Amino acid sequence: MTAARLEGFLCLGAFALCIPAANWLIGHAGTVCAPQGPCLIPVAPGVMAPSGVLMIGLALVLRDLVQRRLGLRWALAAILAGTALSAALAPPALVVASAVAFLLSELADLAVYTPLQRRGLVLAVAASSAAGLVADSLLFLWLAFGSLDFLAGQVIGKAWMVLAALPAVHWLRRRDERLGLA
C-alpha cells in the first residue's frame, strides 16, 4: 500500500469518527448544557451553537481529503456509510434531520470540490466546505426544529473548524508537490 493510500484510509477513519464525536459532544460537552437540549458552545461574541458543529466542520474537510487520496468512489462510499452511521447514532428525535443533513451537505461538498480540485486544493476545500456547512446548517435546523434560530452559530462554528484545518491542507498540498503527487 502506498503512503498516499494509507493517508487516505487514515482520513477515512477520522471522517467516520467525526460522526460519533459530534453526537457525543452535543449531549455531553459545552459551556451550557440544557437537561433536554443540546450542549452549546460560544462560537463568536454573543453567538452560541451546539458543540457538535466542530466535528461536522472537520468532517467536511476530511471527506475532501478522502476523495483526494482514494478517489471519488471511496468518497461516495464514505458519504453513504457516514449517513447510515449518522442515522444510527443520532438521538431518536433527530435521526431524519441528522441523516438527511449529513447526506445532502456532503453531496454538496462533493459537487463543489470535484470540479475545483484541479484548480487548487486549498481553494477547493474552502469553497466546498463552505457549501457543505451552509447546506448542513440549513437542513439540520429546519428538519430538526422547524426553525433557523441557531443558523449563525452553526455556520460560524463549522467555519472555524474549516479555517483551522486549512493550514494542514496547505501543508499537504505543498508536501504532495514536493513528492510529485500533485
The cell numbers describing 176, all together, are 504532495
- Between residues 177 and 128, the one the model is more confident about: 128
Is the pTM above the cut of 0.85?
A: yes
pLDDT beyond 90 at 171: yes
Among 64-68, 116-120, 178-182, name the one with the lowest average pLDDT: 178-182
Count of positions (residues) in the chain = 182
In which element (H, E) is residue 118 found?
Answer: none
String of DSSP letters for 8-26: HHHHHHHHHHHHHHHHHHH
Indicate whether 181 belongs to any domain. Answer: no
pLDDT score of 182: 60
Indicate whether 51 belongs to any domain. Answer: yes
Indicate whether 80 belongs to any domain. Answer: yes
Q: What residue numbers bound the domain in which 88 lies? A: 3-175
Indicate whether 89 belongs to any domain. Answer: yes
Indicate whether 180 belongs to any domain. Answer: no
pLDDT beyond 70 at 161: yes
The torsion angles phi and psi of 42, rounded to 5 degrees, stand at -75, 135
Instruction: Quickly state the pLDDT bin for 176 (edges 50, 70, 90).
Output: confident
Structural domain count of the chain = 1
